[in-house]
Amino acid sequence: MNNRNRLRGIAFIGLLHVVLMSCDKGNKPKGDSLPIEQIGSVQSVAGFGKQEGNPEGIPFQLPKGLRFVSRDSYPFDPSIERLFGNMNTFYADINIVSDPTWDGGHVEFPAGLIMLNISPSGIQNGMLMGRVCINVPPNIHDTEGDTTTVYLGVACMNATRGFPWEDNFADDTKNYVIGKGKYRPSVVTTEPEVLKFISLLNDRPGLKLVQHQNPWDAFDEDYVEPEWMKPYNAIQLAFWKMTDGGGLSAPDLNELLTTLDQYSPKQY
C-alpha cells in the first residue's frame, strides 16, 4: 500500500471509529442543554465528501487594489505569526499583491471560506472554520507592491481524498501540513448545516494556532496523540461525519462540545 492509500485509510478508519463510538453510546447529552440538537449531512452537496464539482456559495473577492498571485518558488515560512485560523488539518498559502491604489488595511477572510483544490491530483478541498483578518501594508511603489504571504489553517471537506502534504519532500515543506500552491479561495459557503457547525467554534480563543504538527509523527509505532491536538482532531472527525457521513446527533455534538470545553473553553 502506498502512502496515499495508507493515509486515506487512516482517515476512513478514524471516521468509522467515531461513527461506531457514537452509535454505541446512545445516551442523552449530559449537563446543560445543547445549543444545537443535531446537524444534518452535506455529503450530497457538490465539493463535499465524495461529490465532484465546485462548491456553491458567495464568491470571495479581495478589496479593490489587491489581487492573488501564485508564489510556488517562495519557501514555506513556518513562523507562527504567518499562520491564521482555528483548524490545522492542513494549510493553504495566500499570496496577495497590491497596486498603487491600495493605501493599506485589513483583509477579512470569513468563516466558511472554501479553499478549492486547483492541483491536478484528487486531493481534498478545505474550509476556513473561523473569521481571519490579515493586514496588507500600503503600496509604496509606483507600480506593483510587495507580496504578502500568509497561511490559512483549514479543515478537510473530503475524508477519502488525499492530503495535500503527502507529496511534500522539499526541505521547507516535508515536516508540515502545507499544501503550497494547491489552493485558491473560491466561495463562502451558505450551507445552513455547515454554518451551524461553524457557530460551535465561535469565541474559542484556545483554538488559535500557536504551533505546528508534523503529520508523519502519527506513523511512529509509539505515537501518542498530543494533548494540544485533541480539540482539532475532534473538530475534524466531527466535520467528516457531516461531509462524508449521516450528520451529527445530539450525543455526537455533546462529545464534541465536551472536548472543546475541556481544551478550548468558550469565551463569553
Could you tell me the three cell numbers for 179?
A: 499544501
pLDDT band at 31; cut points 50, 70, 90: very low
154-212 pLDDT per residue, tens: 999 999 999 999 999 999 999 999 999 999 999 999 999 999 999 999 999 999 999 99
Residue 72 has pLDDT above 80, yes or no: yes
Percent of the chain with pLDDT over 90: 80
- Measured CA to CA, the distance from residue 176 to residue 79 in angstroms comes to 12
Neighbouring-strand partners of residue 154: 90
Could you tell me the three cell numbers for 119?
A: 492541483
Select from 246, 60, 227 the least CA-distant residue to 159. 246
251-265 pLDDT per residue, tens: 999 999 999 999 999
Residues 206 and 265 sit within 8 Å (Cβ to Cβ): yes
Q: What is the pLDDT of residue 83?
A: 98
pLDDT band at 7; cut points 50, 70, 90: very low
Q: What does each C-alpha distance from 23 to 18, 27, 43, 44 come to in angstroms? A: 9, 9, 19, 22
Amino acid at 245: G
Q: Is 263 exposed, middle or buried (0-12, 13-18, 19+ CB in 10 A)?
A: middle
What angle do helix axes 3-25 and 230-243 make, rounded to 10 degrees? Answer: 90
Select from 153, 34, 40 the least CA-distant residue to 92. 153
* CB within 8 Å of 199: residues ≥ 6 apart: 35, 36
Average pLDDT, the chain: 89
Q: Tell me what the mean pLDDT of segment 65-85 comes to.
A: 96
* CB within 8 Å of 84: residues ≥ 6 apart: 109, 132, 134, 150, 151, 152, 153, 209
Could you tell me the three cell numbers for 25?
A: 453510546
Q: What is the pLDDT of residue 27?
A: 41
